[in-house]
Amino acid sequence: MSWLEGKVIENRHWTGSLFSLRVAGVGLKFEAGQFVRIALDIGGERVARPFSFVNPPADPVLEFYGVVVPEGPLSPRLARLRAGERLQVASNPAGFLVLSELPDAETLWLLSTGTGIAPFLSILRTETPWQRFRNVVLVHAVRHAGELVYQDLIKGTNVKYLTMVSREAHQGSLPGRIPAAIGDGSLEAAAGLRIAPETSQVMLCGNPAMLKDAAAALAARGLRKHRRRSPGHITVESFW
Ligand SMILES: Cc1cc2nc3c(=O)[nH]c(=O)nc-3n(C[C@H](O)[C@H](O)[C@H](O)COP(=O)(O)OP(=O)(O)OC[C@H]3O[C@@H](n4cnc5c(N)ncnc54)[C@H](O)[C@@H]3O)c2cc1C
Ligand SMILES: NC(=O)c1ccc[n+]([C@@H]2O[C@H](COP(=O)([O-])OP(=O)(O)OC[C@H]3O[C@@H](n4cnc5c(N)ncnc54)[C@H](OP(=O)(O)O)[C@@H]3O)[C@@H](O)[C@H]2O)c1
């Protein structure tokens, strides 16, 4: 593994704590859904963290979507980067939250909390989901409606887009959390589609507690973890 130096060309701030970095000058081969470590040199030390690609592989400008964790060593500094500044990018993208690992199914469910939407934005901008699945559903669950980012991009695809807002009432969004909405059937009702082992592949990304609770709610429907050696229906990526 080596480090490649990229140049920030934009740092868009969606809210006080949510930002999207666009980085030019780094050519990388990856599959949509993967991540790469990005780094800054802080006090003489290279501080690196994994970030999922938001851009599709065909786009030469890399894009990353982040949240400021106020006490975190790297994210507050990433949020302060300006156009023209440098960012280190590792040369070895990785990760298994990719469609090439998934069995075929009728419906692909992409379930995310917070910044966990990032890898799904990359996947949705490739041809593969539309070629392989009859239905593709994206669920983005956030605390506040202002965190429902990338809406124009999402609405420009054929995805069935469902939003959930947990800490305020928001017209057009489901209340509460993903696992409860799986359990009580409200997610399926909103999508007009069933979650069932015969028809569904589910990818989940974001908060580790959500991944655990959602996997339990899906297990109650007969879905199980997907593994290469024992194919199933649930593929997860935890952000911490
Ligand atoms: C495979 C992988 C992919 C990732 N992709 C992204 C991404 O695309 N965007 C992104 O913002 N982060 C992503 N992360 C998390 C990221 O690597 C950092 O942990 C995050 O940016 C915070 O860095 P930090 O150094 O400030 O704090 P850290 O010391 O890394 O984290 C401190 C604490 O902050 C919380 N936290 C960390 N990341 C998040 C988050 N994304 N949302 C909410 N709370 C969080 C956790 O409680 C964590 O223990 C990913 C992590 C992994 C393992
Ligand atoms: N989001 C912000 O406005 C904001 C602002 C400044 C800093 N931050 C920092 O960013 C980090 C987290 O922020 P975040 O809002 O992006 O991520 P988050 O805490 O993971 O919340 C995103 C969504 O996931 C839900 N969730 C949490 N636990 C769950 C579980 N077990 N099962 C299902 N859903 C679950 C939340 O619901 P609940 O609301 O019910 O928990 C919320 O709807 C924190 O370190 C925070 O300090 C966030």
pLDDT mean for each 10 residues of the chain (240 residues): 97 98 97 98 97 98 98 98 98 98 98 98 98 98 98 98 98 98 98 98 98 98 97 97
Residues 6 or more apart whose CB falls under 8 angstroms from that of 194 comprise 107, 188, 200
What pLDDT is attached to residue 198?
A: 97
What pLDDT is attached to residue 200?
A: 98
Q: Which protein residue's CA is at the shortest distance from atom 34 of ligand 1?
A: 69
For the Cβ of 69 lying below 6 angstroms from any atom of ligand 1, the answer is yes
For the Cβ of 114 lying below 6 angstroms from any atom of ligand 2, the answer is yes
Tokens at 56, concatenated: 């599709």
Distance between CA atoms of residues 139 and 188, nearest Å:
11
Q: Are 22 and 8 in contact (CB under 8 A)?
A: yes
Q: Kindly give the number of the ligand 1 atom that is closest to the alpha carbon of 119.
A: 8
| Parallel/antiparallel/unpaired status of strands 35-42 and 45-52 | antiparallel
Q: Which of 15, 49, 112, 113 to mutate to test the pocket of ligand 2 (most atoms within 8 A of CB)?
A: 113
- From residue 224, alpha-carbon distances to 120, 139, 220 in Å are 21, 19, 9
Tokens at 100, concatenated: 């090439």
What pLDDT is attached to residue 88?
A: 98
B/e letters for 150-166, b = 16+ CB within 10 Å, e = fewer, are beeebeebebbbbbbbb
Q: Which protein residue's CA is at the shortest distance from atom 28 of ligand 1?
A: 72
Q: Strands, DSSP E only, in the chain?
A: 3-13, 18-24, 35-42, 45-52, 62-67, 86-90, 107-113, 135-142, 160-165, 174-175, 200-206, 234-238
| Distance from the alpha carbon of residue 114 to the mean position of ligand 2, in angstroms | 6
What pLDDT is attached to residue 125?
A: 98
What pLDDT is attached to residue 141?
A: 98
Q: What single-letter amino acid sits at 201?
A: Q
Give the ligand whose atoms come closest to the C-alpha of residue 38: 1
pTM exceeds cut of 0.95: yes
For residues 66, 72, 76, 79, the Cα torsion angle rounded to the nearest 10 degrees is: -20
Q: Which protein residue's CA is at the shortest distance from atom 30 of ligand 1?
A: 72
